[in-house]
Structure 1
Amino acid sequence: MLELTLDMEQYDCPFIAASDGAAVSFCAAHWEFDPTDDRLETRMVVEGASPDAVDEGLRVLRDHDGLREYDLISRRGAVAHVRTAIDETAAMGTIRDHDGYITGPFRIADGRELWHVGFDRDGSANAALSALDRDNEYDVVSRDPVDITELSGFVQNVGAAMTLVEGCRDLTPRERETLEAAVDGGYFDSPRGETLGTLADRFDVSKPAVSKTLRRGQAKTMARITQALDEMDEE
């Protein structure tokens, strides 16, 4: 198996048109292709620079000729959850014609789309890329062979991976910012880069306050890491 990450610009994709016309991004939470009707049904998380940006992005999306169905599931400020059905794009058809398949969530922003595409054989991948080159603009971000044993290990440990993702979601914005600043600044290195004093100055708080935030963030992430390790042992 070969996995490609492609940075795509599709001229007939409603989501790309919407992200090019407004300061919004789309991330696929669920997708399903109907080959009998040549349409892609998705549930997308839409994020914008502001509520007005989301309004404009959704308007462009709804007005696009390639959109078949649209349903606003929920909305809170500059974040929305939508269900859509769109026509098969030319690039989607090319990938399917060469036995390719989507292997992970796709994200669309600034008029471009990041695809994760799999092929069972190198020859199919090369033929697909050659065909894509005729009608689309794209960059190959990565091209990685996937060994069957690696694939098996990944599938078996999906539960543990999701536990780690949930651990990241448990963090408050301040806890996440503080942990990221500590790691990026070398707080955990030896010799130490950032200190409690420099972190406190960065966030304009006292050293006890930044220490407390750091400990809370560490406790949450370490709890999830140990839980994930237990799940990996069980699997």
Structure 2
Amino acid sequence: MLTARLAVRYDGNWTAELAAHDYYGEFLAYTFRNNRWLGLLVFSADDVDAVIDLVRDADNIDEVQVLDRTTADDGTPRSAMLFIRSTYRRIPPMETLVYEGFFPIGNPSLEGGRLHYDLLLEDREELALAVDLLDEFGQATVAYLSEEFRYQTIPRPEDLESLIDAISPRQLAVLALAVDRGYFEERRAVTIQDLADELGITKATASKHLRKARLQILRFLDTYLQRIDGTE
């Protein structure tokens, strides 16, 4: 058995137009009948409102409802959940895969203007058939392939938002600078004192902020890994 993640740029569809934005989304639920497609999309983005406007203005979109929205401390939107109604003249990619007998795993995702589908396949011949099928909608590629069953679990946008909210702006500033300056490299390029001097704070303050930020990340990873292992 093979586990594959296939990516396709759906030509002429609103999902392809999102390529200009920095975002990640997942379709939590969807259905298609009599050329009518209904879907529930949750996504995070640098410019949430711009993504919502793009979806609403797309040619085949009939209605977009914002069901939920999260914001940063300064009020800037970070993520949203959309209920989308649209009309298709042909069966969409995912529904086509299912109709042709392919076995999907998990939720389709959306990133970089491409739709991503995880499939469980019998062999490479079936993989080639799936790629050829998606090529009818636009350029299709194999983003991931394993000869063992493997389901790639990705943290939900709302979980990532909770992590970011748990890290204060000051802590995040120290953490971002530490990453940018190479503090976490095997051979450290800078010291805590260097980071403190650049930020105009004391060494003790920089160390405290960095320690607290790392603790929040480690707690998140511990909870997330337990969730994957089924031990939580």
TM-score strictly above 0.5: yes
Look up the equivalent residue of 1:30 and give its one-letter code: L
Q: Taking structure 1 as reference, are residues 228 and 140 closer, same or farther at Cα in structure 2, changes over 3 Å only?
A: closer
- Provide the residue aligned with 1:221 in structure 2: 217
Q: Is the 8 A contact 2:36 2:87 kept in 1?
A: yes
Q: Is the 8 A contact 1:98 1:125 kept in 2?
A: no
Looking at structure 2, the residues matched to 63 and 177 of structure 1 have their Cα atoms a distance apart, in angstroms, of 36
Which of 35, 42, 55 is equivalent to 1:44? 42
- Provide the residue aligned with 1:70 in structure 2: 64
SS of match in other structure, 1:218: helix
Which of 163, 170, 175 is equivalent to 2:171? 175
Looking at structure 1, the residues matched to 224 and 21 of structure 2 have their Cα atoms a distance apart, in angstroms, of 36
Look up the equivalent residue of 1:113 and give its one-letter code: R
- Provide the residue aligned with 2:114 in structure 1: 113
Deviation at 1:173, TM superposition (A): 4.4
Deviation at 1:99, TM superposition (A): 1.2
Unpaired segments ≥5 residues, structure 1: none
Which of 126, 131, 134 is equivalent to 1:132? 134
Deviation at 1:43, TM superposition (A): 2.6
Percent identity between the two aligned chains: 20
SS of match in other structure, 1:10: coil
Looking at structure 1, the residues matched to 132 and 218 of structure 2 have their Cα atoms a distance apart, in angstroms, of 46
Which of 20, 29, 35 is equivalent to 1:31? 29
Deviation at 1:29, TM superposition (A): 5.8
Looking at structure 2, the residues matched to 233 and 131 of structure 1 have their Cα atoms a distance apart, in angstroms, of 35
SS of match in other structure, 2:66: strand
Q: Is the 8 A contact 2:16 2:114 kept in 1?
A: yes
Q: Is the 8 A contact 1:43 1:84 kept in 2?
A: yes
* Superposition TM-score, scaled by structure 1 size: 0.68
Aligned runs of 1:70-109 on 2, under 5 Å? 70-75=64-69, 77-79=76-78, 80-87=80-87, 90-96=92-98, 97-104=100-107, 106-109=109-112
Q: Taking structure 1 as reference, are residues 23 and 126 closer, same or farther at Cα in structure 2, changes over 3 Å only?
A: closer
Q: Taking structure 1 as reference, are residues 177 and 135 closer, same or farther at Cα in structure 2, changes over 3 Å only?
A: same
Look up the equivalent residue of 1:213 and give its one-letter code: H
